[in-house]
Structure 1
Amino acid sequence: MKPSKLYSNRPAMFAPVEFKPELNVVLAEIRRPENRDLDTHNLGKTTLGRLIDFGFLAGRDAKFFLFKHLDRFGEFVFFLEIELLDGTYVTVRRSVAEASKISFKKHRARHQDFSTLPDLEWDHVDVPFDRAKDLLDSLLDWRVLKPWHYRKGLGYFLRSQEDFRDVFQLRRFANAHADWKPFLAHILGFDADLITRHYDKEDKLKEAEQKATTVRQELGGEIEDAGKIDGLLLLKRQEVQKKQQLLDAFDFRSQDKADTKQLVDQIDERIAVLNQRRYSLTQNRKKVIASLEEDQILFDPEAASELFREAGVLFAGQIKRDFQQLIAFNKAITDERRCYLIEERAEIEAELKTVNAELNALGKRRSDMLAFLSSTDSFAKYKHLSNELVTLRADIEGLERQREFVHRLQQLRSDIRSLTEEKTHLEALIEADVEARNADEDSLFSRVRLFFNEIVEEVIDQKALLSVVVNQQGHLDFRAELLDDTGIATSADRGFSYKKLLCIAFDLAVLRAHLDDAFPRFAFHDGVLESLDDRKKVNLLGVIRRYSTLGLQSIITLIDSDLPPLDDDVPTFDPSEIVLLLHDEGDDGRLFRMRPW
């Protein structure tokens, strides 16, 4: 339940770090004045948390410093000793060179050194990585996290600087809310199964909607009514049956009669209508072209002015100006009229093109039918009917494929309706669950939010509210806010120092609420006092010490410049609380006793 010891096979380069069950301080002293103003000092206080995570079987990342600098760390083997719930211990052995092969050793005494222990004395040797994680999961037995793996929430208890940016969404979580919101809801006491099912239904609904869109695109705007397609298929099949009977009987009289009727009643009539429409369109196009050519004004204001002058009439330039204005006005009207005429001509020509194409097709069909009717060659008629039969059967196959698409689309629409109803039902259940947990003063969530407010109020004398609400999409929104005296949320939590405080308060509140459960009982917080006022630092350390006495292990890192002023020359930390002292006077003061990388 708690890290107990971290060591390596090269103690001269990496000295063992023995953790206490309560408060553990990793203190970095900046002894050189020129380093006081630096943002980073590369002493290793942050690296310690990464090594603990490595011991808890973090996945291999090429950017991780151990793998990025294999020339320096390739020969290192690290050992993480972990205290279990029953008071026994398990040591995890993991090398850098073969990071996917893990060994385990259970034991009863703490602070052991198995760096030279032969493989035969290990309980499990070189276990493949995935199996090793499952094995460690069973050994830790953090059963309250089930059905999630032990590593899912480890980031809440191994907070690096990057993890202080958001109280709830850790850096290691995927961007998709479905990856972490159900888990977070679970450890806060909500029904995570409802939330997981809701995300699952939402994904299935999106998938069904995408498939329906694809089917509609494949239909290409064709008939989407299965009943109409079935009707067309019925007619086509009947026509196939009739033509097949004619072919089988080798008697084409009924076909001649049908073709004659179709030729007179449909084709000739349609050709006549189209010819009349083509004549009308041609006349209209002629008029439009003529109107476009009549774009000039015949009146000449200069000639009119000269005429009036010779007649002895004095205009003093007024009439000339009026005529020029009239010309400008007429020109504006003419330009607008030309635009409309050009558009009309384009529409006429497009329709003429369509009419001509249909007339050509009908003319060809009329010619073929006349040839069929006038032909006395029965074999030619047989061939003609056979070709029509082939075309009809091809049409039937096309309609059957179209019907399959339409039936698929109808099924998808039915699925979408069902999924939408199920999703809405789950949203109602989620809302009811959230409302019930919020209203229940004895619920796990109520305890967490009370502990959360207690910590924040003790540190900065300001109330804080932890809340969970259901948004319009039916998803949970988690909020951690500072409140003013009237209970209204303030913007103070947006500052980095207060955001970090809210993260620490949340982690500790969750740990305390699960104190009686099979749950992690440690928290690593990097740079815990940075940016806080001196009085608030003292208050926060008081909270951490008090939580340590409850049975929760705290591992905190800080630099000496972040320490609050001494009170009556009493040091902030007892020497027994400092498990690792780092400094900037040479390589011996670093976590790894080597030059920085």
Structure 2
Amino acid sequence: MISEITSTLATFKPLHFKSGLNILVAERHETSGAKETRNGTGKTSFIELVHYLLAEKRNAEDDFHKPEIIGAEFCGKFSDGGSEFVICKKSNPKSDDLTKDGTAITPKNLRKELSLRWFSLSEEDTAQTYGPKFGALFSYFVRKERNGGFASPKMNSSSQQDWDSQVSLSYLLGFDWRLPQKLQIKKDQKKDADTLAKMIKNGYLTDGALDVNKMQARLDLLDTEIETKRQEVTSASVVDGYRQHEVTANELTGRIRDLNEANLEDLDLVESIDQALKEVEDASASDLRSVYEQAGIFFSDQVKKRFEQVEAFHAQVAKNRELHLRREKRNAQQRLASRKTEINRLQDSLKDKLTLLRSGIAIERLTLLQSDLNRLEAEQADLRKQIPRFRDVEEDRKRLGREITDLVDLIGQDVIEREAARKFAVQAFGETSKFLYDKPGQLILGKSRGVAGLSIETDIVGKKSGGKNHM
């Protein structure tokens, strides 16, 4: 127990403790004002001071390394089994001085000695992965509110890991702490196996689970794909200037298309000229005179003479139009013949270019084929390497799942079998809570419903009260 806390700091008031319950309060006088309550007496500072004395690592940012505190020495007198020892620490700008009974000691060696003295915790146990540690055990007895030490009875701080809580409390309550330790190791192994499984591409998953059979099917199919791609690469012939030949072929195709479109326009023109020539032949003034005569209308000699003049003029106009239309038709036919010759020439050139292009590929195309072949071969090599591993992973995941479930059951069985330790913890909690609140509370111990491990729950009367929860 702590029997005394002192300091060389002039403003520090020594604290003396007796066996049993000690309450730290401020002294009030008749002249004390309304704001001078029993709060702010330094309870939190006292907790910080105890941790400071026994800390393994130096925290240059804490209150004990402020300029006004540097150089001050703080001491704590502890009694254990009838013997007493004093631990003192003096804060310095660079490193602190730590002594036990006036002899210098390192923080690590001090905690090693106190681990064995206070908790019977051997160095061998603390060195194990997920083994109990002095700092975790000590923090259950000296809780820091600013670290969340009063948020939950089973957690010494809000940042404490669940496995650390289970290992520490199992050790303190007298249960087999190695069971939650092994449980956490198995959980780590299961997590690694799950992570490895998630690294597989989605194409190898079925309903979110790793499907090794899909991987094997893909590997079998790759043999054919790689052989086909390899033949493409080996048989490919690179045409020099392939891209330029391809551009020329596209240009020839465009010119042929333009010439064909022009021919269509001239064919439409020839057809419209033929229609116009037919209309010219049908239009005759004599026809108009015969119409009048059939109607019984006869012209006088003067009118007949005038009509003959008009008829001659009309015939001349019709002849001129016919000559113009025939000239336009001849020009269109000449253009058609010229374009046909040009189209034939261009088609011969295009045929030569297409034959050349079909005989090989561009260097860019060969590079792409080679890249595809390399990708397929890399996928094949990866699958050949990974399939045996992932078959093992699936088996490991199932095995680890079973082992985790078995360890949770063993934790529950351990709590039942260690009747003396269980009863002592439950009864001690009940007696303490009854002393504080008149009615005993319940400490409920056992295995968790899932795979968390050790379940520790508390139930006290008036647990909604913040003060009671902290106590």
Q: 2:112 aligns with which of 113, 122, 134?
A: 134
TM-score by length of 2: 0.59
Shift of 1:227: 2.5
CA distance in 2, matches of 1:217, 1:62: 50
Match of residue 525 from structure 1: none
CA distance in 2, matches of 1:447, 1:499: 21
CA distance in 2, matches of 1:411, 1:236: 28
Greater relative contact order, per chain length (Cα 8 Å cut-off, separation 6+): 1
Any idea what SS the aligned residue of 2:432 has? helix
Q: Does 1:214 align with 2:199?
A: yes
Whether the 8 Å contact between 1:464 and 1:481 is mirrored in structure 2 is: yes
Match of residue 496 from structure 1: 466
Match of residue 446 from structure 1: 423
Any idea what SS the aligned residue of 1:480 has? strand
Stretches of structure 2 that go unaligned for 5 or more consecutive residues are 127-131, 237-350
Match of residue 90 from structure 1: 85
Query: What do you get for the CA RMSD once the two structures are aligned?
Result: 4.2
Match of residue 394 from structure 1: 374
Q: Does 1:174 align with 2:159?
A: yes
Whether the 8 Å contact between 1:191 and 1:433 is mirrored in structure 2 is: yes
CA distance in 2, matches of 1:218, 1:193: 41
Match of residue 188 from structure 1: 173
Shift of 1:239: 5.8
Q: 1:231 aligns with which of 220, 223, 229?
A: 220
Amino acid at match of 2:87: V
Q: Does 1:471 align with 2:469?
A: no
Whether the 8 Å contact between 1:4 and 1:19 is mirrored in structure 2 is: yes
Q: Does 1:480 align with 2:468?
A: no
Residues 54, 134 of structure 1: alpha-carbon distance in 2 compared, 3 angstrom cutoff:
same
Stretches of structure 1 that go unaligned for 5 or more consecutive residues are 107-121, 248-366, 483-489, 504-597
Match of residue 184 from structure 2: 199
More helix by share: 2
Q: Deviation per CA, 1:42-65: give whole Å up to 9, x if none.
A: 333442333223222265456643
Amino acid at match of 1:92: I
CA distance in 2, matches of 1:161, 1:387: 67
CA distance in 2, matches of 1:223, 1:459: 59
TM-score by length of 1: 0.48
State the structure with more CA Rg: 2
Match of residue 321 from structure 2: none
Q: 1:424 aligns with which of 402, 405, 414?
A: 405
Shift of 1:161: 5.6
Shift of 1:188: 1.6
Whether the 8 Å contact between 1:60 and 1:99 is mirrored in structure 2 is: no
Any idea what SS the aligned residue of 1:166 has? coil
Any idea what SS the aligned residue of 2:378 has? helix
Shift of 1:444: 1.0
Match of residue 75 from structure 1: 71
Amino acid at match of 2:455: D
Residues 89, 233 of structure 1: alpha-carbon distance in 2 compared, 3 angstrom cutoff:
same
CA distance in 2, matches of 1:401, 1:413: 20
Residues 153, 33 of structure 1: alpha-carbon distance in 2 compared, 3 angstrom cutoff:
farther
The aligned runs of 1:104-183 (5 Å cut-off) are 104-106=99-101, 122-124=102-104, 127=106, 129-138=107-116, 140-143=117-120, 147=126, 148-159=132-143, 163-171=149-157, 174-183=159-168
Identity %: 18
Q: Does 1:48 align with 2:25?
A: no
Match of residue 3 from structure 2: 4
Whether the 8 Å contact between 2:27 and 2:38 is mirrored in structure 1 is: no
Amino acid at match of 1:48: F
Any idea what SS the aligned residue of 1:186 has? helix
CA distance in 2, matches of 1:38, 1:165: 28
Amino acid at match of 1:427: V
Residues 459, 231 of structure 1: alpha-carbon distance in 2 compared, 3 angstrom cutoff:
closer
Shift of 1:156: 2.9
CA distance in 1, matches of 2:119, 2:87: 17
Amino acid at match of 1:97: N
Residues 32, 216 of structure 1: alpha-carbon distance in 2 compared, 3 angstrom cutoff:
farther
Q: Deviation per CA, 1:396-417: give whole Å up to 9, x if none.
A: 4133245145555444333322
Whether the 8 Å contact between 1:219 and 1:405 is mirrored in structure 2 is: no
CA distance in 2, matches of 1:22, 1:46: 20
Amino acid at match of 1:66: F
Residues 14, 406 of structure 1: alpha-carbon distance in 2 compared, 3 angstrom cutoff:
same
Any idea what SS the aligned residue of 1:151 has? helix
CA distance in 2, matches of 1:40, 1:176: 35
CA distance in 1, matches of 2:46, 2:357: 97
Any idea what SS the aligned residue of 2:155 has? coil
Any idea what SS the aligned residue of 2:463 has? helix
CA distance in 1, matches of 2:414, 2:232: 68
CA distance in 1, matches of 2:451, 2:29: 54
Shift of 1:73: 0.7
CA distance in 1, matches of 2:34, 2:358: 109
